[in-house]
Amino acid sequence: MPFDSLDGFNFSTSNVSIDFNQSVWRLTPRIREKAKTIAISHGSNGISQSEINIADFFLSQGAEVELFDHFSSLKIEKLNWGYSDEYKDHFNVSLWDFLQSIPEGASQAQIHLGLSIGGYFGLSSPLSFERVFAVYPGVLPLHKDSFFKNQNRVHIFQAELDSWSKLPADLKKELKDSQTSIIKRTHHSFMAHEKDKIARVISFDFENLFVEKDVLENLFFDYESFKSRSSKFAHIDVLLKSDEPARQAVLKHVLNYL
């Protein structure tokens, strides 16, 4: 079931009305100063304090916010991306299921900001947005029709020291230089709340990056499924580390479009 409460989160913005509906949390400030609504897609841990903090920032600027809950309807608690037995993912949930996790018509947002796997959602989603911001997006096969429909609306923020989410050459060549930013001296998860840890994860290299719907319907959030479809893969140790100045820089950049 989708979330129906902000209990357990440190949510500092007051005077906000909240509506939970169809995997979308709509947070509206009492005094709205921005014309556009921004949607936020979470990373592999689901909605966390990291996304709440980002919502707080935009609400404090008078913007309406939608928090997308991609996992509850799919019965995913979190994705580990691990390679040891206890951390391997085994979900009978396809990439296409994930891209359908926000029903058509459930969102009113014009702007989308996604972190990690949430960045992948923005790049590959059949939903239409005026602007798509992806921060260290997960490198997984993209729905070809959706990506090229939104191609010129995309901006990707990369962490300079991120050894996990480096952009594939096939994706880079489809984007102008102005559509990517490298945030110096940062690591994966620099937008996260108080994070500083090493994660032992698997990195996949897919032969075809832009694919049709039927491929995504048969590619699952499952260690063996990803491994079988990869041209090569590697086990890596990646540093996940918050960086508040970098986080603020990204948020202020996105704010210009609201």
Which of 112, 109, 123 is CA-nearest to residue 37? 109
Task: Give the Cα-Cα-Cα angle 23, 78, 26 (nearest 5 degrees).
Answer: 25
Residue given tokens 């608690």 in the structure block: 77
What 3-state DSSP class applies to 159? strand
Residue 15: which pLDDT band, with cuts at 50, 70 and 90? Answer: low
End-to-end CA distance of the chain: 31
Structure tokens, 126: 């059949």
Question: DSSP readout, 144-212?
Answer: HHHHHHHGGGEEEEEETT-SS-PPPHHHHTTS-GGGEEEETT--BTTTSSS-EEEEEEEEEEES-SEE-
Task: Report CA 199 to chain centroid distance, whole Å.
Answer: 18
| Residue 26 to residue 2: CA distance in whole angstroms | 13
Question: DSSP readout, 75-120?
Answer: T--------SGGG--EEEEEHHHHHTSS-TTS---SEEEEETHHHH
Please check whether residue 106 is in contact with residue 23, taking contact to mean a CB–CB distance below 8 angstroms: yes
Domains of the chain: 16-79+98-192+243-255 (3.40.50.1820)
pLDDT, tens digit (0-9, with 9 covering 90-100), for 72-114: 999 999 999 999 999 999 999 999 999 999 998 999 999 999 9
Please check whether residue 234 is in contact with residue 202, taking contact to mean a CB–CB distance below 8 angstroms: yes
- Position 62 pLDDT exceeds 50: yes
| pLDDT average, residue stretch 237-247 | 97
pTM for the predicted model, two decimal places:
0.94
Residue 2: which pLDDT band, with cuts at 50, 70 and 90? Answer: very low
| Residue 90 to residue 126: CA distance in whole angstroms | 25
| Residue 66 to residue 21: CA distance in whole angstroms | 10
